């Protein structure tokens, strides 16, 4: 790289944000941090600001932003602290920013990610919900503003590496027949389905292979994470849902595969460490140091593959069906899932209630796809309200 790139990390205190800063530290001649953002974790953001000295820090929580600014001033740190959701859009589109790591979890990441796309940034997307909620609108925004979209999810990053370039919507003409989207199956892959109603949040967030946040870990246990990834892959790679096959691969060594018309299957392999796709997206089209241990194929020893059991993983089937139904259903799916996972983590519902809440929420939605941001946000709010009310009326134990 000939010039240092300015980085904005949306969600810097989460797992993706922390790993991004680790990769930047290993390549500090190539990158400088312009902005870091967090929701409520002002203590972690303080440590990051003191180390990386960004121009801006955003705390969504106003009181914690004020406390953070006072603390940084005492340490003679010149980082300017601003607050509120609109501030996320401000830093994501700032003229000093070249690359935006979009790592805010859930629907909260949609508007700042769109702001980055409108400003023509390289958007490194770790927030799959943006495409689940606003696929066509988001992809159009990227295209119309000359922005770049690089996927951070290990599976989509693997597909990106195995796809013929450029990704211009004519994959079939280049011989692509199918995407094989891998997933570990989560911590309950071998647990009897009858016993799933008794699993605890602590068990659900104990992923066997990956270090992730609580919400995404629960999504992995239900395989909703894979369902959202199916929808995301359809938008990213301009393929139909019928061209994607989900493959359970417990070892998480193969991160995904692309099948070609000549019989070839190209796979991307590596140790399960998010710093690999982060480094690939930061350095693209070059490759840079990630700090990841090299894969020893002899240590891996074996790789297993299974078809998903849709009775066990109802959320996966619900996601596939929602995408076929249209954008309103995808928005409802995501909104209801966020509400249900939060309720499960707070021990208000059982693990097996998560797909039930989503299914009931989807029953309230008509087919079709919104093309305006206000319609997307209205459907999101409506589905959240329904899911909350359904839990209160039927499932609060």
Helices 15-26 and 42-52: crossing angle in degrees, nearest 10, is: 10
Q: Give CA–CA dist 221/244, Å, rounded.
A: 20
Q: What CA–CA distance (Å, rounded) separates 38 from 88?
A: 9
**Domain annotation covers residue 201:** yes
Q: Specify the number of domains making up the chain.
A: 2
Residue 283 lies in a domain: no
Is the domain of 164 the same as that of 222? yes
Is 301 within the bounds of a domain?
Answer: yes
Helix (H) or strand (E) holding 321: helix 314-325
In a shared domain, residues 99 and 132: yes
- Domain C-terminal end among 151, 185, 214: 151
Reading the block at residue 102, the tokens are 């979009």
Indicate whether 173 and 124 sit together in one domain: no
What CATH number should be reported for the domain holding residue 359? Answer: 1.10.1740.10
Same domain, 342 and 363: yes
Whether residues 336 and 370 fall in one domain: yes
Q: Among residues 151, 168, 199, which one ends one of the domains? A: 151
- 204 and 73 in a single domain? The answer is no
Distances in Å between the Cα of 309 and the Cα atoms of 108, 167, 270, 303, 312 are: 31, 31, 26, 19, 5
CA dist., res. 84 & res. 60, Å (int): 4
Q: List, for residues 204-254, the tens digit of each pLDDT value.
A: 888 776 667 889 899 999 999 999 999 999 999 999 999 999 999 999 999
Does residue 379 fall inside a structural domain?
yes
259 and 360 both lie in a single domain: yes
Residues 17-62: pLDDT tens digits? 999 999 999 999 999 999 999 998 999 999 999 999 999 999 999 9
Nearest alpha-carbon partner for 147 in 86, 94, 98: 98
Beta 265-269 vs 254-260: how paired, if at all?
Answer: antiparallel
Look up the domain containing 120 and give its range. 5-151
What's 105's domain CATH number? Answer: 3.40.50.720
Question: Could you give the CA distance from residue 370 to residue 58 in angstroms, rounded to a whole number?
Answer: 30
Q: What is the DSSP string of 36-62?
A: EEESS-HHHHHHHHHHH--SEEEESSH
Dihedral sign, Cα of residue 254, residue 258, residue 262, residue 263: positive
Helix 373-394 vs helix 129-144: angle between axes, to the nearest 10 degrees? Answer: 180
- DSSP character at residue 205: T
Q: Please indicate, yes or no, if residue 278 is contained in any of the structural domains.
A: no
In this structure, are 122 and 232 located in the same domain? no
CA distance 147 to 20: 20
330 lies in the same domain as 306: yes
pLDDT tens for each residue of 116-167: 999 999 999 998 889 999 999 999 999 999 999 999 999 999 999 999 876 6
Q: Would residue 252 count as lying in a domain? A: yes
Identify whether 307 is part of a domain: yes
Is 281 domain-assigned? Answer: no
Regarding whether 202 and 130 lie in a shared domain, the answer is no
- Is the domain of 169 the same as that of 122? no
Residue 172 confidence (pLDDT): 56
Domain final position from 151, 185, 210:
151
User: Is residue 95 located within the same domain as residue 181?
Assistant: no
């Amino acid at each position: 790289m000939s010039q240092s790139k300015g980085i904005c990390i949306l969600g810097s205190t989460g797992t993706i944000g922390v790993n991004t800063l680790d990769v930047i530290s290993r390549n500090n001649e190539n990158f400088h941090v312009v902005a870091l953002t967090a929701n409520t974790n002002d203590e972690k953001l303080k440590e990051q600001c003191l180390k990386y000295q960004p121009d801006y820090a955003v705390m969504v929580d106003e009181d914690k932003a004020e406390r953070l600014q006072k603390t940084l001033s005492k340490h003679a740190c010149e980082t300017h602290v601003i607050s509120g959701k609109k501030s996320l859009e401000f830093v994501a589109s700032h003229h000093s920013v070249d690359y935006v790591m979009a790592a805010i979890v859930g629907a909260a990441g949609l508007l700042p990610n769109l702001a980055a796309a409108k400003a023509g940034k390289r958007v490194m997307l770790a927030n799959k919900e943006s495409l689940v909620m606003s696929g066509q609108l988001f992809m159009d925004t990227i295209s119309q503003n000359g922005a770049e979209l690089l996927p951070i999810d290990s599976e989509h990053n693997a597909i990106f590496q195995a796809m013929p370039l450029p990704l211009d919507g004519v994959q079939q003409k280049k011989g692509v027949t199918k995407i094989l989207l891998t997933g570990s199956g989560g911590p309950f892959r071998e647990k009897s389905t009858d016993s799933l109603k008794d699993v605890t949040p602590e068990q659900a967030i104990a992923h066997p292979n990956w270090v992730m946040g609580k919400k995404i870990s629960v999504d992995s246990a239900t395989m909703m994470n894979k369902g959202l990834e199916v929808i995301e892959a359809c938008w990213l790679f301009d393929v139909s849902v019928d061209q994607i096959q989900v493959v359970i691969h417990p070892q998480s060594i193969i991160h995904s595969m692309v099948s070609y018309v000549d019989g070839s299957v190209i796979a991307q392999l590596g140790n399960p460490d998010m710093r690999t796709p982060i480094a690939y997206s930061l350095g693209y089209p070059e490759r840079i140091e990630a700090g990841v241990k090299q894969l020893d194929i002899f240590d891996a020893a074996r790789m297993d593959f299974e078809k998903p059991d849709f009775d066990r993983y109802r959320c996966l089937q619900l996601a596939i069906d929602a995408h076929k139904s249209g954008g309103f259903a995808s928005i409802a799916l995501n909104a209801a899932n966020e509400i249900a996972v939060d309720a499960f983590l707070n021990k208000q519902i059982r693990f097996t209630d998560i797909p039930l809440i989503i299914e009931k929420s989807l029953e309230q939605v008509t087919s079709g796809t919104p093309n305006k941001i206000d319609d997307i946000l209205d459907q999101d709010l409506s589905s959240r309200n329904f899911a909350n009310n359904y839990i209160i009326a039927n499932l609060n134990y």
